[in-house]
A and B are shown apart, each in its own frame.
Chain A
Amino acid sequence: MAALTVRQKLEILADAAKYDASCASSGTAKRDSASGRKGGIGSTEGMGICHAYAPDGRCISLLKILLTNSCLFDCHYCINRRSSDVRRARFTVKELVELTLSFYRRNYIEGLFLSSGIIRSPDYTMEQLVAVARSLREEHDFRGYIHLKTIPDADAELIHQAGLYADRLSINVELPTEGGLRRLAPEKNAKRIEGAMAVLRTAIDDGSDARRRYAHAPRFAPAGQSTQMIVGADQADDRAIIGRASALYTRHRLRRVYYSAFSPIPSPSAVLPLQRPPLLREHRLYQSDWMMRFYGYSAQEVAAATDPATGCLPLDIDPKLAWALRHRDAFPVDVNLAPRERLLRVPGLGVKAVDRILTSRRHRRLRLDDVARLTSSIAKLRPFLVASDWRPVRLADRADLRPRAPVLAQLELFDESP
């Protein structure tokens, strides 16, 4: 077999990386190449930038790539597992560094998101990942964004080095339940994964603590750590997933938990026949995640929006509306009087709209058409709001406030019938 060109390797290894949902390049320390030592390249300014969008609607911000797609592990949901017959490729450290820089110079990307299959040993693999980051930072003075996937079983010293070069580190918990992990990723271990996350959290906390005391203390993963969970490959319902995510947020202080609806992969595992969950389920989980992170709901409250029998969030309405329909006593809310936290619970009012209402109502008593000007969807809000000229009398008592029009289901593009 002829040696692969860089382009062929890129195509194989990008294809293998696309099942990772995360592509964020935001929330790290501000840096640029105009200040400080000369000769560097790159900047991060807080807000991430999406340099392109693929036709699957996902943002392309980082060069998301694997160092190699060869892997010792045999995780059944993964296209790169040992027993899969995909074509294998491997980048050298130098090739990958040059590729990243040549993309960055042309303004295609914000930086690099590097992951890898496990080759030889976890330590060896981690060393290779760190070598790429080190070369970018030290040899090329690269000041763009770097996200490294961390191998849970790698040596603590290697993880420490990774944190010094990378903006963000992540360890995937893979599956929401331990049973699922045992069945689908037999070589992985939930305890070790969580152990590694705890190590990271401690290191990140220590790093920011040191920064508070000494201005020159090195930064350790300033954009924190994140993780990813595969939805629909094991038996966990949404309530269990929300609970798990909430525990991860608080225990390991994660910046983000990404959900990835199990996507049928080419050449599926011989032992793993699965049907894909609806993509909408992933979307509802992200909405519930937003409710916890920005709207002040506790995990128990979000869980109250799930269907008591199936434990899943309704697919036809968003979880915030579902919560409101189960807590009718909390509505309607007076836009002119209610505190911020009550307004945030109104279905259809976002954080920005609430802030606009709060500043505007210092200057006038808001009528319904004022509210309409401050928000995008007044029709959805009306049953839940009281304004100076509006009170939902019959509307609020209607038994069914679900959207009356037939809900359009998201059709499956590729029907994976049994």
Chain B
Amino acid sequence: MYRARLNGPDDFDGWRDAARNFAMAGIPPDAIVWESGTDAPDLFASDTPPAAVVHGTFPVPRAFLDLAEMAILHSDPERFALLYALLTHMRDRPGSLEDRADPLVRRVEALAKAVRRDIHKMRAFVRFRELADTDGPRFVAWFEPEHHIVRTNAGFFMRRFASMRWSILTPELSIHWDGETLTEGPGAKREDAPMDDPVEEIWKGYYAAIFNPARLKVGAMLSEMPRKYWRNLPEAALIPELVAGAQAREAAMIATPPKNARRPGNAATVWQALREEAMGCTRCPLYKDTTQTVFGEGPVDAPLMFIGEQPGDQEDLAGRPFVGPAGQIFDEALETAGIDRTRAYVTNAVKHFKHERRGKRRIHQTPETPEIQACRWWLTQELELVRPRIIVALGATAGRALLGKAVTISRLRGAPIALEGAAQGWITVHPSYLLRIPDAARKAQERARFIQELRAIAKQLEAIG
């Protein structure tokens, strides 16, 4: 067994010289014990250098040196041996460093990657505290790196804080900059650094204010700022409180549902702008074969809203909902039930006419889920703007648009459904259904039932006020 002593845990030059000699002498990796200053000496190794020291050099790729310079800073005690193994492996198989599927290359890469991350995190998480001494302000930080990176990282802080006097204290090593030269000192303790700094309170105020409690993502934070760094970050003390505060806010919002207060202001202007925007809607392909978007109409503060399926042939031409044959049935029924259509907001679940051409006629086609989904954006805006107390879905398509799921009319009709935000929902048939019943007696029966439901709605409306 051979012993190789290095001058410290990050002594790259020492490793490089020793490794070169061993490799020239053809010593296999498992015959060398590597010791850096901090480890206890190995009892069985011999200090004798390799029998025949062959002086000279052999080429290694630049990429290997870059990799080794990083990996050697790792805290893993095996790193020297692994690097030597990689060096001999590479001599036998030139180019093997590029083979990233090789387990040894991968292992060393992983060491270097951990070191690079640690270097980056030190640059990010060192926090200086200001001290005043006779020569003016001095900035001192306490940091606990995972690997032996402090010396390598000093350059970054020199370049960044060239005109400041600063010290970074770590358990292994301290570095000091006086504006001119960098000096090294022995390891330090946390108590050697100043315990606080008045600016930290302001920084914590910033940290709390920039946090958006509406989007809590603790996992994302933890993956980039793991707990091990928290004890040296002043702002990290706030995290539990901020997380708990966001959760409490959530609980409070669940406990008190948002008030359905009528919002003052220029709702009519917004409705106008919304309608104009909808005129250019291309959210689904239906716009291609139609005359225009048929938007809802009626007072924007209407207490009652009717949602139909989609415009038909005549609505598409007129640009207004419920003006065709089904519209006439609808109007008659409303009148019989005593509901004033001009006081209700009337709209459709889908705002373009879906049809197929048969000869010269445009035949109605039932809109499908994606189209209802695409158009629901507009309906939601209308509902939010008008905020009706009672919403009546006419037909299955409207029911799906209102409730967001498939509905069975026969099961749901005839009774109010509680909706979010204190509104009341009703589901009944679409007036065009009445048009299509061939049997006159059944037609009259269904029509009566429709009117009866409208009457119940009118009564509810009166009760609500």
Interface residues of A (CB under 8 A from B): 6-7, 10-12, 14-15, 17-19, 32-35, 38-43, 45, 47, 49-60, 63-64, 99, 102-103, 105-108, 177, 179-180, 182-183, 234-235, 237, 240, 263-264, 270-275, 279, 307-311, 356, 359-360, 362-364, 366, 370-371, 373-374, 413-418
> Which residues does chain A contribute within 8 Å of B205, judged by CB atoms?
7, 10-11, 14
Contact A183 B199 (CB under 8 A): no
Contact B225 A413 (CB under 8 A): no
CA gap between A364 and B93 in the complex, in Å: 12
Within the complex, the shortest CB–CB distance from A189 to chain B, in Å, comes to 15
Contact B380 A275 (CB under 8 A): yes
Q: Given A32-B162, A54-B210, A417-B421, are A108 and B127 also a contact pair (CB < 8 Å)?
A: yes
Most buried by B among A43, A271, A373: A271
Most buried by A among B206, B224, B285: B206
Q: Does B130 sit within 8 A of A, measured CB to CB?
A: yes
Does more than half of chain B's interface fall in helix, strand or loop, or is it mixed? Answer: helix
Interface string of B251-288 (1 = CB under 8 A from A): 00110011000011111011001101110111111000
Contact A50 B124 (CB under 8 A): yes
- Interface residues in B, total, Cβ within 8 A: 99
Contact A14 B209 (CB under 8 A): yes
Does more than half of chain A's interface fall in helix, strand or loop, or is it mixed? Answer: loop
Choice from A11, A108, A310 contacting B370 with Cβ under 8 Å: A310
Contact B101 A366 (CB under 8 A): yes
Within the complex, the shortest CB–CB distance from A346 to chain B, in Å, comes to 17
Within the complex, the shortest CB–CB distance from B129 to chain A, in Å, comes to 7
Choice from A55, A57, A310, A366 contacting B239 with Cβ under 8 Å: A55
Contact B209 A15 (CB under 8 A): yes
> Which residues does chain B contribute within 8 Å of A45, judged by CB atoms?
156, 159
Interface residues of B (CB under 8 A from A): 95-96, 98-103, 106, 120, 123-130, 139, 141, 156, 158-164, 197, 199-203, 205-221, 224-225, 233, 235, 239, 242-243, 246, 249-250, 253-254, 257-258, 263-267, 269-270, 273-274, 276-278, 280-285, 368, 370-371, 373-374, 377-378, 380-381, 383-385, 387, 420-421, 423
CA gap between A414 and B258 in the complex, in Å: 11
Within the complex, the shortest CB–CB distance from A41 to chain B, in Å, comes to 5
Within the complex, the shortest CB–CB distance from A350 to chain B, in Å, comes to 14
CA gap between A182 and B96 in the complex, in Å: 61
A-B CB contact pairs (8 Å), 9 listed: A15-B210, A42-B160, A52-B124, A55-B216, A64-B210, A105-B128, A105-B139, A183-B270, A235-B283
Choice from A263, A362, A370 contacting B214 with Cβ under 8 Å: A263
A-B contact count (CB 8 A): 253
Residue of B with least CB distance to A5? B202
Contact A310 B384 (CB under 8 A): no
Residue of B with least CB distance to A355? B100
Contact A362 B98 (CB under 8 A): yes
Q: Given A32-B159, A105-B164, are A360 and B99 also a contact pair (CB < 8 Å)?
A: yes
